[in-house]
Every structure is written in structure tokens, then in C-alpha cells.
Structure 1
């Protein structure tokens, strides 16, 4: 099982773990995961291999820790944007969110490489699903607060599906281009917004975003 062996408590140990994670992310920009080894990571991080194994069982465990940190940051980004003063139109809010996540693909070392070329780590699947739910709940709350979306389970479901669609469109936008396809990114916000505010025959929702 891929896991972190030891979670550091002391500041010095936390700094070593941070160096290992940063080194791995930087190496992934130029080195395929299959060619990445713990010796190379340790050398890049400026620690011994023994120190690396004190905190991580293998290179998959390092990447898993990286991904968990990225997912937690995704939630914090969503929280920040949805708690700021909201723009006039719901589509503009979705555009802000998508732009923030697009910047992760463009600027976060290792992020895009792991997304497309990294290992498929089963232990992260449930964590990823929970992250999507947390993001969707924050989006739903913002839509209720700022754009008159009904605070019902039906529309929570719409928010969850919209977040799923947005994630898939981000995936598509950056699959072939490190900068992202601007047309797909623009269409993503439009598609999400139209779905979120589409009229519902059983709710009487007016469908104006």
C-alpha cells in the first residue's frame, strides 16, 4: 500500500519533507514518472535516501502526498473565491473558478504531468471524490447566496454534476496544450452555467443565471 511512513512533528523534519515534495514536483516537469527514482529525488532535495525513506515508503507515496496537498489547495482556492464579493453574473463566478484551476495546470510544478502521466493511485480515488464534493458544496452555497439558486438537494446535485463537468472540460483543455485550449475553457463556464440554471419542471425554478 502506498503511504507516508511518518508524519513529521518538528519544524526541521517538516522542512525536509517539504524539500522532498518540491524536488519531486520539479523533477516531474522533465522526468517521466517511470524514470524517477528515490535516489534522484533525494539528491535533488538535498537529503539522504535514508532520510527520504524515513518519511515515504516509495516514490508513489511521495506523489500521493503531493496530490493530497494539491487537492486540499483546490478546496481552499474554491473557498476563497466563493467567499469573496461575488460578481454580477453567475457565469463570471464560474469563469473565475475555472481560471484559478487553469492556473494550477500552467504554473504548479508537476501538476499537469501528474494529472496526465502520473501513477493511478487507488488510495487517492476516495480522497478525490471527497474533494469534488467539498468544492461542489461551496459552489452551491455561493450560487444560493448570490444568484437565487434554490437551497435544495436537487440543486446540490446540479452543483455536483457541474463540478464534475468542469473538471472533465479542464482535463480536455489541457490534454494537448500546457497553456490550455482557450475556447474549451470559455465554453466550460458557459456550459456549467446553463446547466446549473436550466428550468426544472418539478421545481418551478425560473432558470436565470
Structure 2
């Protein structure tokens, strides 16, 4: 029982959540269509999007992420109604530093608040799917960069919806790119450092 509770607390501590309230001019249907159609990918200039459908509720996007390289993203609709929409997105970027060892999972929720505005929520977490992990300091940096990157991407989509599709400043993505490149350089330096004389 205690072990299960510790696992649940560890998972809860290792995720990042943000909410973005959209103006009343943006209805739930518009926000939902932007999510499902992949407007975020076009907004962020991801390359060569190929979409395939597994079922009525699941589709898969393949694209080139500017930082993570070739990325496969699986989107599954969990809930779809007049007042709430929820989708879980899992993404794997094999070319990212240690990318073969983890996937990023984002739960995106659209709901109406008390003022009848649409609130977009994004909860991002990293799931390690391999016993081979990077050193702990890099593991924390990779997790932080992946979670922040995912949440910031949905924040950019919320901002884009808020402005009615007007161009969005790329400043936050330049900062994010620097952070992730810092992780990559740090990982490379750690792996290539000379071994101490024995």
C-alpha cells in the first residue's frame, strides 16, 4: 500500500500543468477542431506532417520536430461532449538526446468555465520506457525540457486561438530551443569526457 502511494506521489510530482483561458469569441468547437486538425503543428512550423487514422478516436501524426527530429505522435480522444473535450497525446522523438528511452505524454482538456469561456488545460509528463536512462542530472533536465516544451506548445496554440490566427511571437520557442540544446550539449560533454586515470 505504501509503495503504491509513493509511486502515485512520484508521478504527480513529475508532471507540469497549465491552464489557458480563451476569450469568449473562441467557442469549444473551434478550439477542439484546432487541436484535432493539428493546427499547432502548422503554427510551430513542424515539417512533413503525415497523419494516419487508427480508429474514429485515434490518429497518428508523423513530423520533424525542430529540436527532437523525427517524431511520432499518437492522439487519442478520451472524452468529447458539448461542454468538455479531452485528448491524450503521446510523442516519441528518437533523434532527441536519449529519445529512445522516453515518451512525452500530454493530456489536453477543453472545458467551459463559470463565465462560459473555454479553458484549455495541458498536463505534461515524461514516461521512461527503458531501463537504460541518462545520468540523474540529465534525466531531470530532459524531463523538465520535454514537459515545458509540450506545455509551451499548447500555450502557443491557445495564444494563436486568442488572436484569431494572427502570427505568434517565437521568442519563447527560441528560449526553449536553447534550453534543449543545452541538455544535448551537456549530455554529449558528459558522455565524451575523458575517463579519470586509474
**What TM-score do the two structures reach when normalised by structure 1?**
0.33
Bigger share in strand:
2
Bigger share in helix:
1
Q: Which has the larger radius of gyration?
A: 1
